[in-house]
Amino acid sequence: MNLSTENTLAQPVGTTLDRYIMRKQAEFGFATGELSQLLRDLALAGKIVHRDVNRAGLSSIIGSMGQHNVQGEQQQRLDVEANIRFIRTLTNGGEACAILSEEEDDLIQTGNVQGKYVVAMDPLDGSSNIDVNVSIGTIFSIYRRVSAVGGPATRADFLQGGRAQVAAGYILYGSSTMLVYTTGHGVAGFTYENSLGEFFLSHPRITIPATGPVFSCNEGHWFDYPQYVRDFLLQCKQQRMSGRYVGSLVADYHRNLFTGGIYLYPPTAKNAAGKLRLLYENFPLAFLIEQAGGRAETGEGPVLDLEPVDFHQRSPLFIGSPELVARLLSETA
């Protein structure tokens, strides 16, 4: 065996998600392992959905269910599949006492009354892209419950506000599957290694560039956007910025997190309060972007300062590089 071959064989495989979580557990003065286990459960469900996404075209789980969820959106088969996978995994894991899902009208009591945490999630964001093989994702948010341990979870557990989150993140199912999360101590990214069935630390400390070359929005709604948004977008075009819009929130957000940019989902005439859901889309992504050095705004203040009053509440979202978000807000003055 020559030296070059030996060196190749001796390359380390890296830090697994499990090992990373164990190392970071000391950052939580109140934690005794439950939060770490909950993050592992979310990763396990993500692995299962990764498998389902990758074989979707061969297993008769693409296409519409022919029914609508509580949001009034047409459910895709993989929406339902992902929802079941995450609920089942979190329930069996034992650490989540309740779950709030985009696909369900009310909170789901898991029966784990001793669990100290609740999870709000969008099990499969961007599901309209499933049938055309475009990147999709899962978004999750974790709170430490405020209701009494030993009893059922309550609405108050989920309506604490964005700054009460103890962890949040997303899983992107794309050319590679990535899990990106924060526990309020920076942002780390993990890439799934299929042959070993493990997430490995690939991006130990993610920070968003202060500015960037990309704006992401659905320009088909141009004439419904507020004037300040149109003025900002005209500036972007005059500066020859690139318009990039996949139509999967996680995919657009992920790209801008790494390259720098801004994602916009403004209020429109049809959706005056915005379209994206506050608890399981905007709150977790806002928490993560602030930890990465970015900003998330509604146009009237930081997303994380918005008071939640309803499980499926909506809000506008302007999120990304801090200089670009500040420039947009200057148009509102």
Is there a binding annotation on residue 122? yes
Is there a binding annotation on residue 125? yes
Is there a binding annotation on residue 252? no
Is there a binding annotation on residue 90? no
Is there a binding annotation on residue 264? yes
Distances (CA, A) of 174 to 35, 65, 171, 197, 215: 27, 23, 9, 16, 20
Is there a binding annotation on residue 42? no
As beta bridge partners, residue 263 has 216, 319
3-state secondary structure the chain: CCHHHHHHHCCCCCCEHHHHHHHHHHHCCCCCCHHHHHHHHHHHHHHHHHHHHHCHHHCCCCCEEEEECCCCCEEEHHHHHHHHHHHHHHHHHCCEEEEEECCCCCCEECCCCCCCEEEEEEEEECHHHHHHCCCEEEEEEEEECCCCCCCCCCHHHHCCCHHHCCEEEEEEECCCEEEEEECCCCEEEEEEECCCCEEEEEECCCCCCCCCCEEECCHHHHHHCCHHHHHHHHHHHHCCCEECCCCCHHHHHHHHHHHCEEEEECCCCCCCCCCEEHHHHHHHHHHHHHHCCCEEECCCCEHHHCCCCCCCCEECEEEECHHHHHHHHHCCC
Is there a binding annotation on residue 128? yes
Is there a binding annotation on residue 237? no
Is there a binding annotation on residue 320? no
CA–CA separation, 301 and 289 (whole Å) = 15
Is there a binding annotation on residue 263? yes
Is there a binding annotation on residue 288? no
CA–CA separation, 109 and 112 (whole Å) = 8
Annotated binding-site ranges for substrate: 125-128, 218, 245, 263-265, 275
Annotated binding-site ranges: 102, 122, 124-128, 218, 245, 263-265, 275, 281
Annotated binding-site ranges for Mg(2+): 102, 122, 124-125, 281
